[in-house]
Structure 1
Amino acid sequence: MSTETPPVPVAGEAPFLNVVDPDFRFDSPEVAQAQERHWYADTPLGARLVLRYAEAQELVRDARMTHNGKGFMEQNGIAEDTFTYDWFVPAMVNHDGAEHRRLRSLVNKAFTPRMIEGLRPLIKQRAEHLADELAEAGEVEFIEAFADQVPLAVMTDLLGVPAADFPTFRQWSSDIGLVFSLAAGGDIPAKVEAAVKGLYGYVDQLMADKEANPTDDLISALVSVRKAEQTATKAELRNLVVTMVFAAHDTTRLQLGNAVHTFSQHQDQWKLLGENPELTAQAVEEVMRWVPSSNAVYRFTPDDYEFKGETLPGGFLFMIGVQAAHRDPRAFPGGDVFDIRVPRQNAVLQFGGGPHYCLGAPLARLELAEALPALARRLPPPNVAGEVTWRPAMGITGPNELPLRFG
């Protein structure tokens, strides 16, 4: 689709933000000014970027809105005969109603509070061991040395993904998340296509191995249930496993990278966390508020959708500017300051809402809750020790690499 910049709106109209500009950032003065002026901004994508918390929360919770994976692919110029289209359109997150409930029920039983709490000792041990290694190393590339490794431990234990396979699928499980940044163009569509193709082949072999030699893990259980009860097709199960492999790795590693990069800019807060572990839960929410790894919450309107006194046609796209909404002073007084001491009254938006609220949200919080204090107790504040490049702000975002020196 075209990404040409439309004319600058005249006074009184919604502001315009070029979200496909490689330099676009949600923490820029330009976004703050747009938020002050209006609850949304127009974009070069023909979609509205929601900037304020109240409107964003209302839209993500409205059960009438749809996820319309087909519409999202078409809007980004992705053809039907591609691996990207084949994976994204039928994915669980892009179904609504009964189909969404059917697919979600396949994994719903695994993500119980008891199951998640059972992973705490594993996550704690892994985080503390890795933190000790960082203390000895001096200068490190944090994403590779820590942020990748914590979710890998969970994937190995929960999903049954062999840790030895990580070098095989690591780049794929990172690149596939760029599907939510397709509008940025460049080499992103090609990266996503290669990632889906690679993960399809990997997951097909993984499921075959689990069927022949099942173990005590979620993928073995899903393969067994599908074979016995025919609750899903093989293609549906492959799609679901690809999504789980990606979601269990990419969003968590990027959130860890975002968090530690933020603490490098707020070193007093790092010291505060290390000395006050009782602030951990609050610190987790604050880093997700300040630098969410996901600005990839989208909703499409149903036919003749009425919102804020306006009737919109079916298939109109709202993009939720999660990080902007998290700094909306109407919802977060003093929210333009990062402070783990301040209890916030509103929930973060990056996990969506309503029937589509992210199944993995409690697990992501647990990984952060064990990782961040393990680091802050053992290590002096981090300092960025080299160049950091970033994924596009509009999508699943965070540092591609994060060279750090502690102390």
Structure 2
Amino acid sequence: MSAETLSVPASPSASFINVIDPEFRFDSPQVASAQAENWYAESPLGMLVLRHAEAQELVRDNRLTHNGTGFMAQNGIVDGPVYDWFVNGLVNQDGDSHRRMRSLVSRAFTPRMLENLRPLIREASERLADEIAATGECDFFEAFADALPLTVMTQLLGVPAEDFPTFSKWSSEIGLVFSLALGGDIPGRVEAAVVGLYEYVEALMADKAATPTDDLISALVTAQREDAVVSHEELKNLIVTMVFAAHDTTRLQLANALVTFAEHPDQWTLLAERPELAPRAVEEVMRWRPSSNAVYRYAAEDIEFRGQRIPEGTMFMIGVQAVQRDPLAYPGGDVFDITVDRKTPVMQFGGGPHYCMGAPLARMEITEALPALARRLGVPSLAGPVTWRPAIGITGPNELQLRFG
């Protein structure tokens, strides 16, 4: 399965960037040069948005939709488990359907519920950091980046910790759906992840229906049975997405943060000395090396934007990392600096009605994690080779062996 090349409106000053090249990275000089020329570049997938102002407008433009069907077709998928999960998922719903599904979660996923998790997150961060300090070297995913989100998932979602070996690979691989255009073994890996997670979540929902506990999935299962705001299949789809999002994007953002601090040791030392900088450090690591590196939209009709006529069906892919280093939006943004109070929000959580519901929880986890690590551990350095997931989806290192101090 491979991406079909789309017809993109030509512009004499728009560069072409091959985002489906396995070696492509958003922090390359080619991307910076294209960004200086124009607000977008042409790509095999559509219009690659490179500047923050245009990206902010587009994620809020009601002439654009998510068009999950179009995204699947573009990648050669017209039916099957991946199609059913993706097309019917919350992220690809618009209008009334999106509001109906989102409202079910928002009734239970409250700010108070999140704040009640903070002591748990802080304790887990400190305990895991102390365990790393005892040896000074670790597989960071095993020692921290997987373990912290799992602690939160167990408390918030009600996912049993002992089930983690069962679903962990699936929840790490399902996010490759946004990288389907690269082909290879990715479509097969995504399908295996979808099938595995659906089977796991079906059993989990049955258990919660029989013996509900004080957790979000129990609350959602009970609400679905009582008022049927969503169907059983819609809820299962939603919970599959929640299990994936609560684990994969956070684990990869934590890993991205540690790679970044390994490259900027002075910033790690500064955070250890000034833990009050943690909120700015979180925003800066998400800006510099986001785990969610592409936001997609499609033109639902012929539109005019920035003086160009853009045909119906055109894909806009917002290159999040490039957008978050746009010098027009982030003065001095070519430097990683946790002391800067940047006024422009990051884009990796999207915008408008589809702004990520999990953003406050992700920020909370990383805000507690980074100072806990920095206070207890010396400067991180890579203790082994690092390979990377594709740049155009949920991205980060595949492995991360670290040495501290």
TM range (shorter): over 0.9
Paired residues, number:
404
**Inter-partner Cα distance in structure 2 for 1:354 and 1:192:** 28
Q: CA deviation at 1:13?
A: 3.5
Q: Which residue of 1 aligns with 2:100?
A: 102
**Root mean square deviation, CA, Å:** 1.7
Cα deviation code 1:248-284 (max 9, x no counterpart): 0000000000001000000000010011011111111
SS in 1 for 2:304: strand
Q: Which residue of 2 aligns with 1:280?
A: 278
Q: Which residue of 2 aligns with 1:126?
A: 124
SS in 2 for 1:137: coil
Cα deviation code 1:52-72 (max 9, x no counterpart): 111111101223310111011
**Inter-partner Cα distance in structure 1 for 2:49 and 2:315:** 10
Verify the 8 A CA contact 1:5 1:18 in the aligned structure 2: no
Q: CA deviation at 1:137?
A: 2.0
Verify the 8 A CA contact 1:380 1:406 in the aligned structure 2: yes
Aligned partner letter, 1:55: E
TM alignment of 1:61-140, pairs within 5 A: 61-80=60-79, 82-140=80-138
Verify the 8 A CA contact 2:389 2:395 in the aligned structure 1: yes
Q: TM-score, normalised by structure 2?
A: 0.97
**Inter-partner Cα distance in structure 1 for 2:220 and 2:35:** 44
Q: Does 1:35 align with 2:45?
A: no
TM alignment of 1:137-216, pairs within 5 A: 137-216=135-214
**Inter-partner Cα distance in structure 1 for 2:110 and 2:210:** 27
Verify the 8 A CA contact 1:63 1:354 in the aligned structure 2: no
Verify the 8 A CA contact 1:289 1:326 in the aligned structure 2: yes
Structure 2 gap segments, 5+ residues each: none
Q: CA deviation at 1:2?
A: 5.7
Cα deviation code 1:143-174 (max 9, x no counterpart): 12100011111110010000000000000000
Closer, same or farther in 2 for the Cα pair 1:305/1:4, shift >3 Å? closer
**Inter-partner Cα distance in structure 1 for 2:178 and 2:199:** 22
Q: 1:390 aligns with which of 380, 388, 391?
A: 388
SS in 2 for 1:215: coil
**Inter-partner Cα distance in structure 2 for 1:115 and 1:394:** 32
Cα deviation code 1:290-338 (max 9, x no counterpart): 0010113101112121111122222210000000011110000100000
**Inter-partner Cα distance in structure 2 for 1:95 and 1:10:** 30
Q: Which residue of 2 aligns with 1:241?
A: 239
Verify the 8 A CA contact 2:2 2:182 in the aligned structure 1: no
SS in 2 for 1:109: helix
Q: Which residue of 1 aligns with 2:51?
A: 52
Aligned partner letter, 2:192: A
Closer, same or farther in 2 for the Cα pair 1:3/1:246, shift >3 Å? closer
Aligned partner letter, 2:105: V
Q: CA deviation at 1:242?
A: 0.1
Relative to structure 2, which stretch is displaced further, 303-312 or 246-255?
Answer: 303-312
**Inter-partner Cα distance in structure 2 for 1:269 and 1:109:** 39
Aligned partner letter, 1:67: H
**Inter-partner Cα distance in structure 1 for 2:10 and 2:116:** 56
Structure 1 gap segments, 5+ residues each: none
Closer, same or farther in 2 for the Cα pair 1:15/1:361, shift >3 Å? same
Q: 2:360 aligns with which of 356, 359, 362?
A: 362
Aligned partner letter, 1:150: L
